[in-house]
Amino acid sequence: MTPHFLSFQFLLLLILLCTTTTTTVAQPAPAPGPPPPTNITKILEKASQFTTLIRLFDITKVGDQINTQLNNSKQGMTVLAPTDNAFSSLAPGVLNSLSDQQKDELVQFHVLPTFISTSQFQTLSNPLRTQAGDSTFYNFPLNITTSGTQVNLTTGVVNASLANSIYTDGSLAVYQVDKVLLPMKLFGPQPPAAAPAPEPEKKKKKAGDTAATGDSTANSSSAVDLRLDLHGLMRGLIAFIAMFCL
């Protein structure tokens, strides 16, 4: 084979390679889609051991309320989640004895209307404001104390502790608590009954009226004495005249 023929074959091979090779262009990765809507039920289901709280969220519709607020506002929320063991430590029949409204208030008492990170617990002011409303003593007070990283909660009926963080995304924080938070309004002593209104006092006589009554009595006595004196004088005068006429 001549060198010219080999060169021709090599050139032909290069042409074939250039015409048959396809150029692969790297495609950009697809943009990530929007995050799925927050769902408190799915968060608790994934964490497990919260079936009783999930059931209460469903019965009272508080779970739907939390999801709606989180997905339609930027205010944020915090959920204090008692475990199934915490609920099982309650006296038998306690939950069943509550009315629908009381169940709603109990669940709302475990929800704070703002996002609270673990570090923010050190700076909170008491009493904490919950979704249950009025935080005065005989209603829904919730107070917090901290010692290092330990966070304690007291309702006036029960003392509980934050066990760990279950979920946080900057908008929703879910913390496990070791006891059910029992509010004063539902489980504490009732406020003392108001003192009965005092009976209206009888109208007292004025000092002037008393003096006037005394003066009137004195005047009446003087008039009687005067009449008696005149009567005696007339009798004496008649007797004196009769002596001289005899």
The whole-angstrom separation of Cα 13 and Cα 6 is 11
For the segment 132-139, the average pLDDT, to the nearest whole number, is 94
Whether the CB-CB separation of 66 and 77 falls below 8 Å is answered with yes
> What confidence tens digit (pLDDT) does each residue in 188-214 have?
998 888 777 777 766 555 555 554 445
Q: Which of 111, 101, 112 is nearest to 59 (CA)?
A: 101
Is the pLDDT reported for residue 240 higher than 70?
Answer: no
Residue 116 confidence (pLDDT):
95
C-beta separation of 111 from 131 below 8 A: yes
Asked if residue 125 has pLDDT above 70, the reply is: yes
Of 51 and 149, more confident = 51
pTM: 0.68
- The β-bridge relationship of strands 172-177 and 77-82 is parallel
Domains and CATH numbers, the chain: 40-187 (2.30.180.10)
pLDDT score at 224:
46
For the record, the structure tokens of 166 come out as 């279950």
Dihedral sign computed on CA atoms, order 137, 140, 146, 152 = positive
**Is pLDDT of 33 > 80?**
no
